[in-house]
Amino acid sequence: MAIAETALRLPIPSLPRGYRVAGTHAGLKRNPTREDISLVVSDYSATAAGVYTTNVVCAAPVIFDRARTPGEGFRAIAINSGNANACTGTRGLADAEAMAAQAASLIDVPASSVLVLSTGIIGEFLPLAKIERGLAVVAGKLAADSDSVVTAARGMMTTDTRPKLSGSRFSSEGIDYTLFGMAKGAAMVGPRLATMLGIILTDAALDPSDAQRLLGETAEQTFNCVSVDGHTSTNDTVLLLANGAAGGKPLHGKSLEAFACALHDVCEALAREIADDGEGATHVLRIEVSGCPTRDQARQIARTIADSPLVKTAICGADPNWGRIVSAAGYSGVVFDPERMVLRLNGTLLFRSGAPVAFDGDAVSESIKASRETLIELEMGFGTESIRFYSSDLTAEYVHLNADYHT
């Protein structure tokens, strides 16, 4: 935790050794000030792992990457926003392959060493000529400086208001390692698997099986604990590249554990950023559910609260409407005894022993207004497992954004 929070306070985290990035506008988005093509290149052959959407209707780049990861010998990720290449059938899959081949040719690596990410409008074919022109531009200006990092992160944004970056460092057996993460996600963010696009880069060396296992476990505890609107995207993907540029053998034992901690910090920071930047959000909800027999049950309760429009509008209105929170837990599908449940909102006790508790409603309302983050703590009292879940409030601005975003 401490590492990632420190990293977030830094203006821009550094890239690990052996990576260069760039972004540009290539005409996929209408606004010429918005980047829509990015390229991430590893100067060394990298291990790659990926976690993907569980949506049955999944996009061509998901099908493409999923067939290739985990594995070794990867050199680049080509990214576009403004077009999701989803629901585009066999032509969409051929377009994803063509996009990877374009990037490979421009940076002179094998086509099989390039992965692709797409996000944006569903159901339109990729404009391959525009993408090729954009890739040519970014291939010519790859760099590791802060401006390049920000521009590359902006190239994967859709309705995000800001790039989401995170970094972490750790040392093990005399070697310093760096992790870097960037992500996008402000809508179609639902609590299943990756739920957004994310790229994690490290200069550590990793075996593909370790990379895949750790990425999967970490995504389950971080990206899978975020919801803006409960709508699982067709394109959700998190990719991890590990190029070994820091030196040393593939991590194992204590080194691998240290890496796992750093990976968790980077992913949790990005996950929180996604909720915080939820479309139209005025609050980020941190929902801590504890005292359950299993972590899945805790997540199920937290997710139901996170997705309730009545809870989300109550926080928007700075209303400590605990009945909506308690009743959302009640319809989560988890069977529990309401008499044992204890609810606190921003630290104030609101409900215990199945009955209301006297509290200063105005003071709690003021505390919601005073902070960007609202803390909902629910102790269920029938186990020892817990979960932390992030969500955003539901505002009229969310409706305006989504009623007016036309296909």
Q: Which residues are catalytic?
A: 195
- Of 2-10, 130-138, 207-215, 232-240, which segment contacts a copy of itself by CB under 8 A? 232-240
* Member of 218, 308, 367, 392 binding a copy of itself (CB under 8 A): 308
Distance separating alpha carbons of residues 76 and 73, to the nearest angstrom: 10
Q: Residue 62 class from Cβ within 10 Å (0-12 exposed, 13-18 middle, 19+ buried)?
A: buried
* Member of 119, 224, 233, 374 binding a copy of itself (CB under 8 A): 233
Please report whether residue 369 would count as binding a copy of itself according to CB under 8 A. no
Amino acid identity for residue 356 in this structure = P
Query: CA 146: distance to chain centroid?
Result: 21
Amino acid identity for residue 257 in this structure = E
- Of 9-17, 34-42, 104-112, 182-190, which segment contacts a copy of itself by CB under 8 A? 182-190
Structure tokens belonging to residue 39: 């390229």
Footprint of a copy of itself on 112-171 (CB under 8 A) = 121-124
Instruction: For a copy of itself, give the closer residue by CB, 153 or 329.
Output: 329
Structure tokens belonging to residue 249: 């053998």
Please report whether residue 334 would count as binding a copy of itself according to CB under 8 A. yes
Cis previous bond, 208, omega within 30:
no
| 3-class SS letters over 192-251 | CCCCCEEEEEECCCCCHHHHHHHHHHHHHHCHHHEECCCCCCCCCEEEEEECCCCCCCCC
Distance separating alpha carbons of residues 326 and 229, to the nearest angstrom: 20
Other Cβ atoms closer than 10 A to 153: 25
Is 39 within 8 Å of 77 (Cβ atoms)? yes
Distance in Å, CB of 395 to a copy of itself, minimum = 6
Backbone angle region of 291, left / alpha / beta, with phi > 0 → left and psi within -120 to 50 → alpha? left
Please report whether residue 26 would count as binding a copy of itself according to CB under 8 A. no
Please report whether residue 320 would count as binding a copy of itself according to CB under 8 A. yes
**Residue 14 DSSP symbol:** P
- Write the interaction track for a copy of itself spanning residues 188-207; mark x where CB under 8 A is met and - where it is not: x-x-x---------------
Q: Which helix (H) or strand (E) holds 35?
A: none
Is 24 within 8 Å of 138 (Cβ atoms)? yes
As beta bridge partners, residue 202 has: 179, 242
- Cα–Cα separations (whole angstroms), residue 343 to 307, 321, 322: 18, 11, 8
* Member of 36, 276, 307, 377 binding a copy of itself (CB under 8 A): 307
Distance in Å, CB of 334 to a copy of itself, minimum = 8
Distance in Å, CB of 270 to a copy of itself, minimum = 21
Per DSSP, helices labelled H in 47-116 are 60-66, 89-107
Is 241 within 8 Å of 46 (Cβ atoms)? yes
Other Cβ atoms closer than 10 A to 318: 17
Please report whether residue 355 would count as binding a copy of itself according to CB under 8 A. yes
Please report whether residue 222 would count as binding a copy of itself according to CB under 8 A. no
Instruction: For a copy of itself, give the closer residue by CB, 174 or 333.
Output: 333
Instruction: For a copy of itself, give the closer residue by CB, 262 or 298.
Output: 298
Q: How many residues bind a copy of itself (CB under 8 A)?
A: 70
Is 235 within 8 Å of 79 (Cβ atoms)? no
* Member of 230, 251, 274, 281 binding a copy of itself (CB under 8 A): 230
Is 195 within 8 Å of 189 (Cβ atoms)? yes
201 three-state secondary structure: strand
Please report whether residue 321 would count as binding a copy of itself according to CB under 8 A. yes
* Member of 338, 349, 382, 385 binding a copy of itself (CB under 8 A): 338
Instruction: For a copy of itself, give the closer residue by CB, 45 or 313.
Output: 313
Q: Which of 63, 49, 55, 53 is nearest to 92 (CA)?
A: 63
* Member of 45, 159, 313, 386 binding a copy of itself (CB under 8 A): 313
Footprint of a copy of itself on 67-96 (CB under 8 A) = 84, 86-89, 91-92
Instruction: For a copy of itself, give the closer residue by CB, 2 or 355.
Output: 355
Distance in Å, CB of 176 to a copy of itself, minimum = 41
Instruction: For a copy of itself, give the closer residue by CB, 105 or 290.
Output: 290
- Write the interaction track for a copy of itself spanning residues 234-263; mark x where CB under 8 A is met and - where it is not: x-----------------------------
Interface residues with a copy of itself (CB under 8 A) are 53-58, 84, 86-89, 91-92, 121-124, 187-188, 190, 192, 229-234, 307-310, 313-314, 316-317, 319-324, 326-331, 334-336, 338-339, 351, 353-356, 361, 394-396, 398-400, 402-407
